Chains A and B, each alone.
Chain A
Amino acid sequence: MARIIAGVGTSHTPAIGAAVDNGKTNEPYWQPLFKGYEPAKKWMAETKPDVVIMVYNDHVNAFDFKIIPTFALGCGEEFPIADEGWGARPVPAVKGHPELAAHLVQSLVLDEFDMTIVNEMQVDHGLTVPLTLLFGTPKAWPCRVIPLAVNVIQYPAPTGHRCYMLGQAIAKAVASWEEDLKVVIFGTGGMSHQIQGPRAGLVNAPFDQAFLDGLSRDPQRLAAIEPLEYLRDAGAEAIELVMWLIMRGALGERVKEVHRFYHVPASSTAVGNIILESA
């Protein structure tokens, strides 16, 4: 039987990927951040998942505005790396798990989550930066990756509550797959940040810390946070944090927090990382 053994929450700031790609990880600006991710990388190297379900958002790369799916599941065999405007990141293409993805779609739609099925798409920094942070710079990614792209660009994004319930449905779907697979689910983006308008650069560390605490101890409280509260208190782009609730919803009631890291800044972003094992 397949099962979700853990969840990883992490920011996916594009500048982090650029720092790795351009060999800047030891510069004073970046060194504390990459040092902070070392325990998570070590945990991942020991955990060796077979499949990662990557909850992330596309940033006007795979999807322009012709079609805006709220929840899009990548069902293809391979996902090429997008050129976002400065050339594609020099990272390996992402191999999917079409069989498990097809099963997820069937189970989720019957559970009343109407997923958009995407058989071909490019993936951007939202998906590749978390892979780089947790797996480093291998020649090929060591596991299969099922992308789950969430619209958080055009307002309103799905609510935190809806995301939490989707996570629960994903856990149920994975558990009904017969093949023995270790699955780790990622929730990415955030934490507090705003990259537009005169209020750009907003960071709310107390909000972020309370969010990390809530993931560990009181996810129901987080699932009840209104969209407006993210925008107002943690920045227009902090709405990305709803994606962490899909991850959290997939882990069941009780979890064991095995790692946490928080750092400001990476470019305009407050960076958070948490690892939660299913109890």
Chain B
Amino acid sequence: MTERKHKEAYEDIPGTWVFDAQRARKGYHLNEFLYSLMKAENRKAFLANEAEYTRKFKMTEEQRQAVLKREWNRLLELGGVSYALAKLAFTDGKSYQYMASQMTGVTEREYVDMMLKGGRSPEGWRSKSERQGKH
């Protein structure tokens, strides 16, 4: 499979932004901001003044607004990687499962319940074209 065909194939997976080299390139400064939240003093500085703290990083205005608004899916689309985004959720005192629930558009309780029932079945979630065929 050529690289292009390969990319087309993984871009056909619904509800997923594959963190490939191009997306990583766009997300570099956003992810470096998120990485800075590993340090307790940075978490504190960020929470004290989010707008000011985020301006220290060379991310785009679009990325910065998505951080301030906690638009999780938008952050993925703009090159944020889930493990780095989790550091923003932790800074807010939230969990991975909270972050995942926000990305899937349900409450944290509903998300946890879905997992307890065995998780999301891959049926109907393998390809965008397959999903469109069903509507």
Contact = CB atoms under 8 A, between A and B. Distances in A.
A264 B38 contact: no
A265 B115 contact: yes
A interface, how many residues as a size bin? 35 or more
B31 A64 contact: yes
B10 A228 contact: yes
B126 A233 contact: yes
B83 A153 contact: yes
A154 B9 CA distance: 17
B53 interface: no
B32 A64 contact: yes
A198 B105 contact: yes
Contacts, number: 153
B73 A228 contact: no
A205 B15 contact: no
A59 B35 CA distance: 10
Interface in A66-91: 82-87
A150 to B, nearest CB: 14
Contact of B35 (A14, A64, A87, A234): A64
Given A14-B96, A59-B83, A65-B32, A231 B120 contact: no
Interface string A43-66: 000000000000000011100110
B59 interface: no
Contact of B97 (A199, A232, A267): A267
B13 A268 contact: no
Interface stretch (A3-11, A160-168, A189-197, A251-259): A189-197
Contact of A60 (B18, B76, B83, B97): B83
B18 A155 contact: yes
Nearest to A270: B119
Interface of A: 14-15, 29, 59-61, 64-65, 82-87, 153-156, 192-205, 207, 228, 231-234, 236-237, 264-265, 267-268, 270
